[in-house]
Amino acid sequence: DAGVIQSPRHEVTEMGQEVTLRCKPISGHNSLFWYRQTMMRGLELLIYFNNNVPIDDSGMPEDRFSAKMPNASFSTLKIQPSEPRDSAVYFCASSHSGELFFGEGSRLTVL
């Protein structure tokens, strides 16, 4: 298995633009997590899904953030409109028995 696949690896965009981050979990994993890594807060849980259903989105910072999981093999995290303070590394992780397997992250820079 290729592991958790995230794209893009790097994105540089201007304030106000829409950003879409993508994640393909490991096949057979039924839980998917989106985390944001910042210097101030470390790994911050944004949202997680179980069997494609969002279970807890209380970590999503604002209405500008949204996440979807239309099927078991794909999830998106969207920021619209983006702001400079959204600059961070966004990690996707999947799990089937508790242990999380992380993607390599998407580094977002909003100018």
Q: Whose Cβ is closer to another protein: residue 39's or residue 62's?
A: 39
Q: Whose Cβ is closer to another protein: residue 17's or residue 96's?
A: 96
CB of 91 to another protein, least distance (A): 7
- Contact residues toward another protein (CB under 8 A) are 31, 33, 35, 41-43, 45, 48, 50, 55-56, 91, 95, 98-105
Distance CA 37, CA 89 (A): 5
CB of 9 to another protein, least distance (A): 11
Distance CA 39, CA 12 (A): 19
| DSSP character at residue 63 | T
Distance CA 46, CA 18 (A): 18
